Amino acid sequence: MIKQFVPSEFCIECKGCCRFKEADSVWSPCLLDEEIQGLLDRSDIPVASISINRRITPVASHDGAYFVCPYLGAQDNNCKIYQIRPFECQLYPFLINLRKGKVLLTVDLNCPYVHENINSIQAKDYIAYLTDYLNTPKQLNILKSNPQIIQAYEEVREVAEINLKRPESI
Ligand code: SF4
Ligand code: SF4
């Protein structure tokens, strides 16, 4: 599990994550290959639909105004699979990004906690931790074998480089 930058009590009140404007949103969680079977094998959690591009498919909200991850508890705003939530969910508001041929660690400034705290010492320390973690041989191998995770989000800030060449398949 990746250590978290945003305190969970802040996220519970926020409602910024796990909801999407479209059913095929590029922001819906993209899965590692090894996470897909794990989710499908669990009988204790609802079966979510997984798209051809290996994303959890959001479902329409009760009022039809937006789309929501099927693993989000509507009443308590908690992730029902928090202990086994996907790598991308653990990583957010940080993202793995492909930009100008480089694989980068980026951050989404639309997250209100990041927006307020990105220039803090805690953010600097956390980025150092996360960069070191992602650059370990084990994590680099995971990223290399899951090029679907390396995406081209535009409105995000670059914070560090990942020691990975652009995978040939993207
Ligand atoms: S947008 Fe940021 S603060 Fe809000 S739920 Fe997501 S990670 Fe937490
Ligand atoms: S798996 Fe959990 S953390 Fe990830 S989008 Fe769904 S509800 Fe949110």
Residue 168: inside a domain = no
Average pLDDT, the chain: 90
- pTM of the entire predicted model: 0.91
Same-domain pairing of 113 and 148: yes
pLDDT at 5 over 90: yes
pLDDT value of residue 62: 86
CA of 152 to the centre of ligand 2 (A): 21
Q: Do 98 and 75 belong together in one domain? A: no
Residue 166, pLDDT > 90, answer no
Distance between CA 59 and CA 1 in Å, rounded?
A: 26
Query: Quick one: 124 and 56 in the same domain?
Result: no
Residues 77, 41, single domain; the answer is yes
Q: Is the CB of 89 under 6 A from ligand 1?
A: no
Choose which residue among 4, 9, 11, 107 to substitute to test ligand 1 binding: the one with the highest number of ligand atoms within 8 A of its C-beta.
Answer: 11
* Ligand 1 near 17 CB (within 6 A): yes
In a domain, 2, yes or no: no
Specify the length of the chain in residues: 170
Overall average pLDDT of the 62-75 stretch: 88
Domain that holds residue 111: 93-163
Query: Can you give the pLDDT at residue 167?
Result: 57
Q: What is the pLDDT of residues 132-165, one digit of tens each?
A: 999 999 999 999 999 999 988 888 999 999 988 7
pLDDT at residue 68 in the model: 94
Positive/negative CA dihedral, 54, 9, 21, 117:
negative
In the listed set 39, 66, 84, which residue is the last one of a domain according to the structure?
A: 84
> For residue 149, which phi and psi values (nearest 5 degrees)?
-75, -20
- In the predicted model, is pLDDT for residue 88 greater than 80? yes
Task: Please determine, for residue 94, whether its predicted confidence score (pLDDT) is greater than 60.
Answer: yes
pLDDT computed for residue 60 by the predictor:
92
Domain tally for the chain? 2
The two three-digit tokens of residue 39, written as one number: 């989710």
